[in-house]
A and B are shown apart, each in its own frame.
Chain A
Amino acid sequence: GESVGLHLPTLSVQEGDNSIINCAYSNSASDYFIWYKQESGKGPQFIIDIRSNMDKRQGQRVTVLLNKTVKHLSLQIAATQPGDSAVYFCAERGWGNTPLVFGKGTRLSVIA
């Protein structure tokens, strides 16, 4: 079936370094992608989104890259800070009445 998944379950980075979190999706009809951050005991928090007609979008310290050819999505976090420690989920949605589908999550640990 269609699925959204993540390459790595955990990622440890030094404070100040850049982080890259990857996500693979298999639904070629996916049209809209979101990265969420989830801190312990809290709900998913929107970070950044991208539509399928784009291949890159930048926010504050974050960049999302979309490669539709290989169905790959990545989240880059610049100058990673301790407050960035959390689980990061990619989520996708296709056209029409398709629900938001979440990937399994990557835990980012920032080492001070």
Chain B
Amino acid sequence: EPEVTQTPSHQVTQMGQEVILRCVPISNHLYFYWYRQILGQKVEFLVSFYNNEISEKSEIFDDQFSVERPDGSNFTLKIRSTKLEDSAMYFCASSEERLNTEAFFGQGTRLTVV
């Protein structure tokens, strides 16, 4: 069964450093997403990506964040100058269509900023 894969599973970084979280969406999907989940809280939308550009983003997704699809398979989230409060699980998801279809989630990357 096709699945969304994310690497690394756990990333520890020092405050102020840059991190890149990587995702390989399901191959025939067209829409890609990043969500985050702070420990014990709900899943929060960060950004959606379609046709090689951001289609929408939340208030959380400020200039500290960027996304890229560097090739035909990878989808990355870059966090510049990480802060302690960026510590969370980051989930990548993909879907075939934008409306009325479910998003398939990866296993997540646990980011710990120390």
Contacts and interface: CB of A to CB of B under 8 A. Distances in A.
- Pairing of A with B: yes
B41 interface: yes
B91 A103 contact: no
B68 interface: no
Interface of A is mostly: strand
B91 A44 contact: yes
Contacts of A99: 33, 45, 48, 56, 58
Interface of B: 4, 33, 35, 41-45, 48, 55-56, 58, 91, 93, 98-100, 102-108
Contacts of A36: 105
Contact of A51 (B42, B43, B45, B100): B100
Interface stretch (A59-67, A68-76, A89-97): A89-97
Which bracket fits the contact residues of A? 20 to 34
A31 B101 CA distance: 11
Given A41-B108, A101-B45, 17 more contacts: A31-B99, A31-B100, A43-B106, A43-B107, A43-B108, A44-B91, A44-B105, A46-B102, A51-B100, A89-B42, A93-B99, A93-B100, A95-B99, A99-B48, A99-B56, A100-B33, A103-B42
